Amino acid sequence: MIAVIDYGRGNLGSVEKAFRRVGCPAVVTQDPRAVDDAQAVVLPGDGAFHDAMRNLDALGLLPALRRALDGTRPFLGICLGYQLLFSTSEEFGEGRGLDVVPGAVRRLPPGPKIPHMGWNRVEHAGDLKLFDGIPPAARFYFVHSFYPVVAGTVSTPFGEGGLTQMRVAPAARSDRPEMRVAPEARPLRIAWCQYGIRFAAAIEVGRIYATQFHPEKSQRWGLRMLGNFAAIVKDGA
């Protein structure tokens, strides 16, 4: 069973329904015990970063959420649930996130219309499990005004093979030892999107997966992605 965390943010019904469509049972829950007992955990979300952190704390979900992020079970963050994995956010003032992945959430720069809303291409190198069977320029549905800046990564130009693997730099590791991402043991793989700037549209580090876009709203390729996550859960990978 997959636990979809309900902290008052996100299109929970759509996420649960999408998992049902790919043949994987999921339960929407605010119960920390259900999160602890689940085979895998999904953190969806829409709305403001700091409000989400306060809601998680007020509902007593933060300890169970941190246990779900210890690397022993598959975890999927979606949209705001992706951004919450980073160290800090500047949305409505600087504040702390879950600090699982070193980096900061910043506002999209002036230029294209904000929020970034609608379909856009996501490029990947074929090395992310979530993107198995998904072409390198598949389109996914985005709704966001902020994006994560991943600390300690060095990007390379696009080539015929896509992007090379990224790693979290030693200097960029979290200051919380229990949530630290060891660069030599846990490579950080990234898929990219272009919207005024080039930003990390999805990441994979160990058993933690996360997307800035909404796979549950992304039709064919979004369902394929959720099916890939369900297969990871089933295989215990």
Dihedral of alpha carbons 214, 217, 220, 224, sign: positive
CB-facing half-sphere around the CA of 47: CA atoms within 13 A: 13
The answer to whether the CB of 213 falls within 8 A of the CB of 202 is yes
User: Is 116 known to be catalytic?
Assistant: no
Residues near 14 by beta carbon (within 8 Å), at least 6 away in sequence: 214, 216, 217
User: Is 216 known to be catalytic?
Assistant: yes
Helix, coil or strand: residue 142:
strand
Task: Name the active-site residue from 116, 124, 144, 214.
Answer: 214
CB count within 10 Å of CB 104 equals 18
Pairing of strands 2-5, 146-150: unpaired
Task: Name the active-site residue from 79, 123, 124, 204.
Answer: 79
User: Is 193 known to be catalytic?
Assistant: no
Task: Name the active-site residue from 16, 123, 204, 216.
Answer: 216
Catalytic residues: 79, 214, 216
